[in-house]
Structure 1
């Protein structure tokens, strides 16, 4: 019986042995081709790839299992020699080209065999994790560690381990090493940068914060926690808003959320609660952060306490207002009352003003309170001014006596304590009723003299306590107030002196005028007697001497008249009696009287006119004006002609007197119409310096003006303008 054909590996019958060998050869060739292709890929990729033989390590692990040791990690920790032995049993059987480049090897032979040449103590930790994963049958492990190149360089790498854990064996392990040195360096740099930032921020003198893109606060520096008393748990996220004043929190959050949505910088002010419960004004400013790709990362911002700055700004505005008040009046008592009203409530809840009178006594001139309900108490306080002979511990008295500010942080509220600072028990009871929590007494000192003292008090009404900012402002205010008081007193004294002087001038002028009249009459009588009784030769000589005397008497009369006019002007008694006056005709009359004097001095007159110019003026006063201008033109004309021009328009008359003499210096010209001012040297030209002053005042009284133009060495021109009041009726 014939045999059945054998089945082939595919289950077919009748195949020949030669066919089976051919198929097997083709299969082996395919496998070898695939293996060669895989090895080529492994050799050419940029990642370091190793193949390690772990068979002898597996024997150690099997031995542990036979001994009943299941916790490999604990065993390795307790037996480091076991780990070192396991490392020695690993054999590197293959490495790719990337491994040679990474570790600085010239050939594979330098890396094959033991791992000890590239292992560092830090590498053992990863190796232990390999052993644990191998014992637990996990086929994959990834971890960061460090290896050593053949030239000693340390290389930070990312290990990946893959092995076949079937049937509890791990003959081969595929290891990949990725150089992560640059990434780790970048991470360290980032960590160092963040550490530096946090260290800098924690030691910064301002509060600082950082948010994420969603607006949640991820960092607050130490200054924030110290200032607000918050913790990380209460401050991070949006918890910081709980430290913001309830009236400011909603608006502040709205500004922040809007800016965060727009990725825009912002700046806002709000009141922030300090750890002691006091709310302080702060500026919160921030700028957006962006990543390398322009992505929004959040904000970094700072918070600065600006309470003192706001107080300074407020006090500067207050001082500016007080400057206006101090300049508004020369009655210093009224001025200081206005100042006290400005100080409340900007600087104080109470402001008290004491002044030293001329007799040395101290008078309380003002007490201003912020609360109208305290008005009766303020009246009681008026009875207890600073006293030079009072309690030296009383703050206003101490400031007055020592001439320096006195700051009392906590004056007290009980009578027994206040008795140490009060003049008497009644004074202490009034102070106890006021209940000040802070007091500041500042002396008013000017030119080395203490003129008074300003006392500022705060109460529970405002809760404000004085510090350096308020002291500085109070001292500035006191300096201004003292200067104002001193100026007012100087002005008062000057006015008193002026009145005494004017009274003296008025009396002296009348007394001088009295003997002049009979003297003039006597000279006239003497002239007639000489002409009637003396010989011609003697007559001529005596009459010449009398003419000199008459000129001196006229000169003296003019000076006395000038003094009388000044006294009348100062007393407001200058009378203007208007009548119809032809300016042209009056100028001709006065010119004729001065003609001989003008010709004798070499300054003849040239009169230019356009006819009658009639207005309603005081004839005698206008004649006085013309006479003075002509007299000056002759005196300073230096022997050159004097031009006189009279003009008129429909509404005004104009008189111009121009000489060609010495002129007036530019720096003197603006002052020549002032009282007792001269345009030339008194030594050479004499005079009281009253003529132009009286002239200007007379013209002003008639509604007119006078002006002067001059060039030194080329003469001067004086121009008078007068309104033609009722000119039609006068003509």
Structure 2
């Protein structure tokens, strides 16, 4: 078998060379395909892409380095012509279609020669930064800038500049421009909106704040800084809590953190330190902010100083409490003492009450202090009331003399002497340490009754203003009305006592001549019957009967006045015994039989047997007589009924007439003194019968009530316990 020919070294190399050449061709084809694909992408992408040759610029920079220039930025700033020369050395190798659309070019050729036309001063600043990037060997730069389109429109763009700094050649630089006009417009709108918000917030009448989602405060308006004295450095973040009262800071933070975690609105009250060191009550309320997608952005809130509002509410509660105290008694001394104690410490640290007496002098009726240790000083201050002939600048004296309030928001120690009566008084005032004062007159019905003085000290640190003055004047009006009512009541009581004394004396004096007059009439009656002929006796006895009835009526009126005087003086005595109410009603009805016939009002008695109780017979007769007398008087010729009932432990007496009745507006008053249901001109009387009846029944533990319909008569119902209570008289 013949042998195969041997391969020579040259043959092996030739075969390998063909393989390498084929592989290289394939690699080149792949690269061309990738480049074509990349160029296709570059052309289709929406970002402006420039391929530029910065070799000429690189040569200028190398020349600067040889000249010893190290700070390219400073050199360009000092030599603007150098920058323009560098711009001219840039060669644009190509741009994509997005660039043509962005700058309004019709072709690559139009765009390639237009580099200087699209530059603005701000664009040159970015170009300088590109040269600095080349000089420092950095591969990438990104910056915002502006450019001009070929038709003169201004573009806001984001520049990127990249080159192969490793190789060090700048002949292939890639520059991209992204149109950020809409984004910048949105940012400017947002900035403008934020600026408007800040301007509005800084001029708002309340403190305002804004937080991030994590709860950190990023904005506090001017009012916050003016109120608290904080700065941005001390107030932002969670520094605002440093201005909150130490006792309120932790609870306030807890409420805020909890609301922030729940993304919920919240509202809280706390004491906020003002720049002068005073803590003021504030209300802090906030609502969460959410973005377009519902994402939580934080809070926006407001803080309002509510100290004055809380103060008004506190003073209103105090005035309501004081009003109740003032209305609780007619003893104005007790009332004013209670008032002074109530005013401390709600309204004052010291409260002084001065009353003007009828002789023109002033009496200090009360001094109250918030500190129990001031007992000795309280007694000393009682010796320095208002003095109409003293220092007219003494606040209580001035309030009484001028009839208008005195407000001293500040009382510097050096001014004490101008407000006191003498040196001893000045020492007393200095010992109290006043810092603010209100003195208001007590005015009622055009008269000045005295003055109320309220003083604050360093103990509370409060200073009086319009709110406290308004409350003090309101309190003074109520106190003056209470004092005036108490004095009127005292005068009325004195007048009532004088009237009752007069009635008692007058009644006794009238009773004295009535007794012998009744006796003389009886004697005269018998003499006429014995000595005169029948015709003359009949005429004389008729006249005598009229006189006897008038004397009886006068005697009843005097008895009524005596009863009233006894009731007013508390001298009504009861003589209790076993009394049958049925029998008593029968006896009284019999005595009224003649009057019943004369008034043509039939009298009917209804009883169900004996009804016995422990009563005062004479007083019970008086009750039944008064009720029957009224029923016959107002019965108007209609029947009158009297009914006695046994209801077990109580007895009931009912007297009814069918006469004119009682008007509804009069009915509630008929048991009052000197009240009557009809005109006295037609029916006479003093209006005392029902009053005396009610008082007698009450003394025996009973009651009386009345029901009536006008034109249909009236019904009076008496209820009496048959056995008196253990403590009954």
| TM-score, normalized by the shorter chain, greater than 0.5 | yes
Deviates more, 1:185-194 or 1:113-122: 113-122
Deviates more, 1:460-469 or 1:254-263: 254-263
Partners of 2:115 and 2:205 lie apart in 1 by 54
Contact 1:92–1:114 (CA under 8 A) maintained in structure 2: no
Query: CA deviation digits over 1:518-551, x for unaligned, max 9?
Result: 3333333333344444454444444333333333
Residue 495 of structure 1 and its aligned partner are, at CA, apart by: 0.2
Name the structure 2 match of 1:639. Answer: 637
TM-score, normalisation: structure 1: 0.89
Q: How does 1:117-156 map to 2 (within 5 A)?
A: 117-149=117-149, 152-156=152-156
Q: 1:719 to 1:150 in 2, by over 3 A?
A: farther
Q: How does 1:74-473 map to 2 (within 5 A)?
A: 74-84=74-84, 86-87=86-87, 94-103=94-103, 111-149=111-149, 152-164=152-164, 169-411=169-411, 413=413, 418-473=416-471
Deviates more, 1:279-288 or 1:700-709: 279-288
Partners of 2:160 and 2:219 lie apart in 1 by 36
Partners of 1:164 and 1:242 lie apart in 2 by 55
Match of residue 472, structure 2, among 471, 474, 484: 474
Partners of 1:155 and 1:692 lie apart in 2 by 107
Partners of 1:632 and 1:303 lie apart in 2 by 75
Partners of 1:687 and 1:196 lie apart in 2 by 87
Partners of 2:35 and 2:421 lie apart in 1 by 112
Deviates more, 1:380-389 or 1:430-439: 430-439
Contact 1:93–1:113 (CA under 8 A) maintained in structure 2: no
Contact 1:411–1:418 (CA under 8 A) maintained in structure 2: yes
Partners of 2:204 and 2:361 lie apart in 1 by 55
Partners of 2:417 and 2:166 lie apart in 1 by 99
Q: 1:517 to 1:27 in 2, by over 3 A?
A: same
Contact 2:701–2:724 (CA under 8 A) maintained in structure 1: no
Partners of 2:569 and 2:106 lie apart in 1 by 120
Partners of 1:71 and 1:350 lie apart in 2 by 78
Deviates more, 1:622-631 or 1:370-379: 370-379
Match of residue 542, structure 2, among 541, 544, 553: 544
Partners of 2:279 and 2:596 lie apart in 1 by 86
Q: 1:483 to 1:88 in 2, by over 3 A?
A: same
Residue 571 of structure 1 and its aligned partner are, at CA, apart by: 0.6
Q: 1:158 to 1:640 in 2, by over 3 A?
A: same
Residue 619 of structure 1 and its aligned partner are, at CA, apart by: 1.6
Match of residue 516, structure 2, among 518, 543, 553: 518
Q: Does 1:598 align with 2:596?
A: yes
Name the structure 2 match of 1:685. Answer: 683
Deviates more, 1:297-306 or 1:54-63: 54-63
Q: 1:130 to 1:571 in 2, by over 3 A?
A: same
Deviates more, 1:347-356 or 1:108-117: 108-117
Q: 1:601 to 1:65 in 2, by over 3 A?
A: same
Q: Secondary structure at the match of 1:437?
A: strand
CA RMSD in angstroms comes to 3.3
Partners of 2:528 and 2:510 lie apart in 1 by 27
Q: Secondary structure at the match of 2:434?
A: coil
Q: 1:50 to 1:714 in 2, by over 3 A?
A: farther
Q: Secondary structure at the match of 2:557?
A: helix
Deviates more, 1:127-136 or 1:711-720: 127-136
Deviates more, 1:264-273 or 1:333-342: 264-273
Query: CA deviation digits over 1:417-467, x for unaligned, max 9?
Result: 644433233333333333433333222111111111222233334333333
Partners of 2:162 and 2:237 lie apart in 1 by 43
Aligned residues: 718
Q: Secondary structure at the match of 2:592?
A: helix
Partners of 1:270 and 1:363 lie apart in 2 by 44
Q: Which runs of 5+ in 2 are unaligned?
A: 1-7
Deviates more, 1:601-610 or 1:390-399: 601-610
Deviates more, 1:690-699 or 1:21-30: 21-30
Name the structure 1 match of 2:506. Answer: 508
Deviates more, 1:131-140 or 1:318-327: 131-140
Partners of 2:605 and 2:454 lie apart in 1 by 72
Contact 2:120–2:148 (CA under 8 A) maintained in structure 1: yes
Partners of 2:35 and 2:147 lie apart in 1 by 29
Partners of 2:228 and 2:454 lie apart in 1 by 31
Q: Secondary structure at the match of 2:183?
A: helix
Name the structure 1 match of 2:5. Answer: none
Partners of 2:685 and 2:102 lie apart in 1 by 112
Q: 1:422 to 1:726 in 2, by over 3 A?
A: closer
Contact 2:675–2:688 (CA under 8 A) maintained in structure 1: yes
Partners of 1:545 and 1:287 lie apart in 2 by 101
Match of residue 616, structure 1, among 603, 614, 628: 614
Match of residue 651, structure 2, among 653, 656, 666: 653
Deviates more, 1:304-313 or 1:610-619: 304-313
Q: 1:148 to 1:563 in 2, by over 3 A?
A: farther
Partners of 1:348 and 1:711 lie apart in 2 by 58
Q: 1:602 to 1:215 in 2, by over 3 A?
A: same
Match of residue 586, structure 1, among 577, 584, 587: 584
Q: Secondary structure at the match of 1:13?
A: helix
Contact 2:700–2:724 (CA under 8 A) maintained in structure 1: no
Query: CA deviation digits over 1:607-628, x for unaligned, max 9?
Result: 3332222211112212222222
TM-score, normalisation: structure 2: 0.89
Deviates more, 1:600-609 or 1:506-515: 600-609
Residue 88 of structure 1 and its aligned partner are, at CA, apart by: 5.6
Match of residue 485, structure 2, among 473, 484, 487: 487
Partners of 2:360 and 2:50 lie apart in 1 by 106
Q: 1:726 to 1:277 in 2, by over 3 A?
A: closer
Query: CA deviation digits over 1:360-399, x for unaligned, max 9?
Result: 2111222223334332232222222211111212222111
Contact 1:669–1:708 (CA under 8 A) maintained in structure 2: yes
Contact 1:707–1:718 (CA under 8 A) maintained in structure 2: yes
Q: Secondary structure at the match of 2:197?
A: helix
Contact 1:6–1:15 (CA under 8 A) maintained in structure 2: no
Partners of 1:14 and 1:404 lie apart in 2 by 128
Contact 1:160–1:177 (CA under 8 A) maintained in structure 2: yes
Deviates more, 1:480-489 or 1:371-380: 371-380
Partners of 1:20 and 1:232 lie apart in 2 by 73
Partners of 2:574 and 2:17 lie apart in 1 by 161
Q: Which runs of 5+ in 1 are unaligned?
A: none
Partners of 2:307 and 2:332 lie apart in 1 by 34
